[in-house]
Amino acid sequence: MALGNVFNIAGSGMSAQSVRINTTASNLANAQTASSSIDETYRARKPVFAATYNKAMDLGAPQVNADSEAGVRVMGIVESDAPLQPRYEPHHPMANEEGYVYYPNVNVVEEMTDMISASRSFQVNVEVMNNAKQMVQRVLTLGQ
Amino acid sequence: MAINFENALGIHEDAMRFRAKRASILANNLANVDTPNYKARDMDFKTALDNKMNAHGKPLELATTHNSHREAKGLLEDDGGLLYRTPEQPAIDGNTVEEHVEHAKFMENSLDFQTSFTLLNSKFKGLKTALRGE
């Protein structure tokens, strides 16, 4: 049933966007997590999205070919390779011998725009799901 | 004299099936609004309608001139209307989903679904009235 598929698709969109919101929250929370070495410093994390297809459904029933797309999934979370910010803070408890502290490469402005974009996309998926629910409920009243 | 549902209900049943399928395709576009290289898709009602109308003389039907020839069922009939959307402002990451466009299409489609539903429902009501004979 094509309408039932909408729930799966919108659900996958919602979970993907919530992963994105989660990584944004993690990045913002750790934006000021200082460290004394480059390797230990927190790096901004970004989820990578990819479209999913359920090819298995094509084998038996050709009529589901048209909606063989099955939403979106998070392929993985990558760490940003933007340069870290070394700051000269000799009195910082985490300062190394030269007096430097490394701060994460989190761009707060970028994270904020990402957060707005993710929450808007989440909202759209919720709306799609609500709409599909109305359509299904309407169909259930057929013939009454 | 049996009631032929195909004749009695007309095109509305197929129209509803088309709308439901299109809803899932548009929902998929909206779910993939941030997926790099995703290409937005949509179905063309006219193509679907033409396919339905020409269902008796299928465009890609193979001629069976021998008993052992098998009937070839093309997948094209169902997929005929599934196309790629041309974006007005393509994104740099290769994604062609434009949220406002998809959103508007989704809403339009769900209204069309309601229309088809209302028409189908009125067909059923008509049949009921005829059965009661009041």
Given this model, what pLDDT does residue B116 score? 92
Using a CB-CB cut-off of 8 Å, the residues of chain B touching A5 are 24, 27
Residues with Cβ within 8 Å of A32's Cβ and at least 6 positions away in sequence, in order, are: A103, A104
Cα separation, B71 vs A137, whole angstroms? 39
Distances (CA, A) of A90 to A41, B70, B86: 17, 83, 57
Residue-wise pLDDT tens digits, B4-40: 777 778 788 888 888 998 999 999 999 999 899 999 9
Asked whether the predicted pLDDT for residue A141 surpasses 60, the reply is: yes
Residues with Cβ within 8 Å of A129's Cβ and at least 6 positions away in sequence, in order, are: A6, A7, A10, A11, A14
The ipTM assigned to this model is 0.77
The residue ranges of chain B whose pLDDT is under 70 are 1-3, 55-62, 70-80
> Which residue among B38, B75, B124 places its CB closest to the CB of A62?
B75
Asked whether the predicted pLDDT for residue A90 surpasses 70, the reply is: yes
Cα separation, B123 vs B106, whole angstroms? 26
Asked whether the predicted pLDDT for residue A65 surpasses 80, the reply is: no
Strand, coil or helix: A39: coil
Q: pTM of the prediction?
A: 0.78
Using a CB-CB cut-off of 8 Å, the residues of chain B touching A142 are 117, 120-121, 124
DSSP string, chain B: ----HHHHHTTHHHHHHHHHHHHHHHHHHHHTTT-TT---EEE-HHHHHHHHHTSTT-TTPPP--STTPPP---SHHHHTTEEEPPPSS--TTS----HHHHHHHHHHHHHHHHHHHHHHHHHHHHHHHHHHT-
Cα separation, A47 vs A74, whole angstroms? 6
**Best of B22, B35, B118, B124 to mutate (most A CBs within 10 Å, chain A):** B35
Report the pLDDT averaged over residues A27-44. Answer: 91
**Structure-model confidence comparison of residues A2 and B78, the more confident one:** A2
Asked whether the predicted pLDDT for residue A58 surpasses 60, the reply is: no
> Which residue among A1, A10, A62 places its CB closest to the CB of B31?
A10
Given this model, what pLDDT does residue B69 score? 76
DSSP string, A109-127: HHHHHHHHHHHHHHHHHHH
Of the listed ranges A5-19, A45-59, B66-80, the least confidently predicted one is: B66-80
**Structure-model confidence comparison of residues A31 and B13, the more confident one:** A31
